[in-house]
Chains A and B, each alone.
Chain A
Amino acid sequence: MSDAAPMVLVSRVSQTFRRADGQKVRAVDDVSVQIPEGQFVCLLGPSGCGKTTLLQMVAGLLAPTQGEIRVAGQCVRGPAPERGMVFQKDSVFPWMRVIDNVEFGLKCRGVAKPERQAIARRYLAMVGLAAVERAWPRELSGGMLKRVAIATVFANGAAVLLLDEPFGALDYVTKRQLHDVLLTLWGAGASGGRRTVLFVTHDVDEALLLADRILVVHSGRIVDDMAIPAPRPRNSDSLLLPAMVANKHRLLAHLGLEVAPAVPVLAQ
């Protein structure tokens, strides 16, 4: 699309684990992919397919066994604040008040207290939690904790956001609300346009609603790379667009839930 260097460049990356029984497992197998700046990419696949492992390598929490990952031209060696991560588990520190959690990344970078407080307040307001900034995390619901986690990575100014099944444990309504929160923050793109997002999920509808592009991961490889050009903002009607329905069938086939791709389902 553009001739500028991609924001995220994964080149021939593999990750091999040794299981407890001594057997070698190739969780990620020679994966290469380029992601341009500002793109919202969903990594979709069944559990155990290697999508989380790939994300952890981009985050720098795990070093690739082979290959190289570059973000904004820089080779990834360990975690860094320009690659923010939202985890599947609750990662909000229970021993800090909500606002101190949102300020944490800024504090690590030495941003002065009044300034980081102002930034944290702004993002807390954007995720709808302005009223609970002094609360303890144990007083919040699961959905609210995810809002705090999202506000924290956005407040930290990460250029690349890595989300590892962030809404997997939430109910449908909360999940849909958080999709809106996430897309609003993504679209708001504070200073330099939209941020680049890698979003791991196993939920087909979630991927179709959120993504510009879906990478299907299976057995440690990227087996399909689909553009999702449906206009935004999307809603449940968007999923009924012919192109979306075709994409959904293709994704379900990849997950082994339908026999062949792009075969219309006959009414029974």
Chain B
Amino acid sequence: MAGAMRWARFDPLGMLGIMAMLLIWAAMTRVLPPSSLPGPLSVGLRLGQDFFAAPELSFYGLPDASLSGSMIYTAENVLVALGVGAGVGIAAGLLTARSATLRALIDPVLMTAGTIPILVLAPFFLIWFGVGRASSVLLVALYVSVMLYVFAQRAASGLDPVFEQSARTLGADRQRILIDVLLPSTIPQILGGIRIALAGCWGLEAIAELLGAQYGVGKIIEVLAGATDVQGILAALVLLGVVAVLFDAGAALATRRLARWSVTTQIGHER
């Protein structure tokens, strides 16, 4: 509880950084025309205006679009992709850390998949899974699973064998070792991986939507870019950024609670 309260306190330096950025932005609008760079205030107003209903988007074939609705669509996809990708990646990572044969089989496949640029992969997914949710969710899930595969595998490989040996001499079977040794011991590193993956997810999902989707923040950005509506694009980006920061704060809090036994996570957060 105390930890949660302390987290919620604002970081003065972080606030200072945001203020500085807004000032520079405002200063730049004095030089650049509003069509290239609208000011922070007008972007904020546009964000409020389009939040629940954005009628002008109907001209671009998005009749019922609003910023909040699109954001919820994007957030849902990100969370589903994170869940699916993390589940697959963690399971595969832990398994391959304990089986050299499986590792030799799976490592090259996932490592290759992880290096394919999203711009190359997206068209295939659109052909295979259409322009609905499935395409963007699976695309993002793929990158998440590769990242968490690496994190989980490294965490499990780095675990001192004495813990598993001790568990076995105390009478633990494989299932018990998985639940009470392998999973909890790797949780701090896996949660760290989930946080990094989550941060990347927003961008990937937006790109996936940009390349082919009917809803979502990425789709809004795509149509507004077609109309060179910089103000609208910036409003969508600000909303995406704020939501990403809030989710990251939630993930940080979860990490603190679930990994409170770990010395490293304590040091990482103590100030």
Shortest CB-to-CB span from B78 to chain A, Å, is 29
- A85 to B163: give the CA distance in the assembly, Å: 12
The residues of B that contact A59 with a CB separation of less than 8 Å are 169
Interface residue SS majority, chain B: helix
Q: A85 to B166, Cβ gap below 8 A? A: yes
The residues of A that contact B181 with a CB separation of less than 8 Å are 93
Number of B interface residues, CB 8 Å?
23
- A81 to B266: give the CA distance in the assembly, Å: 34
Q: Mark A72-102, 1 if CB is under 8 A from B, else 0.
A: 0000001111011101011101111000000
Q: Identify which of residues 245-271 in chain B touch chain A, using a CB-to-CB cut-off of 8 Å.
A: 260-263, 266
Q: A91 to B165, Cβ gap below 8 A? A: yes
Of the residues B166, B167, B171, B260, contact of A109 by C-beta under 8 Å: B171
Of the residues A90, A105, A138, contact of B261 by C-beta under 8 Å: A138
Q: A156 to B170, Cβ gap below 8 A? A: yes
Shortest CB-to-CB span from B235 to chain A, Å, is 44
Shortest CB-to-CB span from B266 to chain A, Å, is 8
Of the residues A81, A87, A96, contact of B171 by C-beta under 8 Å: A81
Q: Mark A142-154, 1 if CB is under 8 A from B, else 0.
A: 0000000000110
The residues of A that contact B168 with a CB separation of less than 8 Å are 60-61, 78-79
- A61 to B164: give the CA distance in the assembly, Å: 10
Whether A95 touches B184, Cβ cut-off 8 Å, given contacts A108-B176, A138-B263, is yes
- A156 to B172: give the CA distance in the assembly, Å: 12
Q: Mark B161-202, 1 if CB is under 8 A from A, else 0.
A: 011011111111100100011001101000000000000000
Number of A interface residues, CB 8 Å?
30
Q: B169 to A108, Cβ gap below 8 A? A: no
Q: A89 to B160, Cβ gap below 8 A? A: yes
Which of A60, A90, A96, A104 has the largest number of chain B CB atoms within 10 A?
A104
Q: A105 to B170, Cβ gap below 8 A? A: yes
Q: A81 to B261, Cβ gap below 8 A? A: no
- A84 to B165: give the CA distance in the assembly, Å: 11
- A80 to B169: give the CA distance in the assembly, Å: 5
Which residue of chain A is the closest to B180 with respect to CB atoms? A104
Q: B262 to A87, Cβ gap below 8 A? A: no
- A84 to B163: give the CA distance in the assembly, Å: 14
Whether A94 touches B169, Cβ cut-off 8 Å, given contacts A87-B162, A89-B162, A104-B180, is no
Q: Identify which of residues 134-170 in chain A touch chain B, using a CB-to-CB cut-off of 8 Å.
A: 136-138, 152-153, 156, 162
Shortest CB-to-CB span from A97 to chain B, Å, is 8
Shortest CB-to-CB span from A110 to chain B, Å, is 10
| A to B CB contacts below 8 Å, 8 in the list | A78-B168, A90-B162, A93-B185, A94-B263, A108-B170, A108-B171, A138-B261, A138-B266
Report which B residues bind A (CB closer than 8 A): 160, 162-163, 165-173, 176, 180-181, 184-185, 187, 260-263, 266
For the complex with contacts A94-B185, A136-B261, A153-B169, 8 further pairs of A-B residues with Cβ separation under 8 Å are: A60-B169, A85-B165, A87-B166, A91-B166, A93-B180, A95-B185, A108-B173, A138-B266
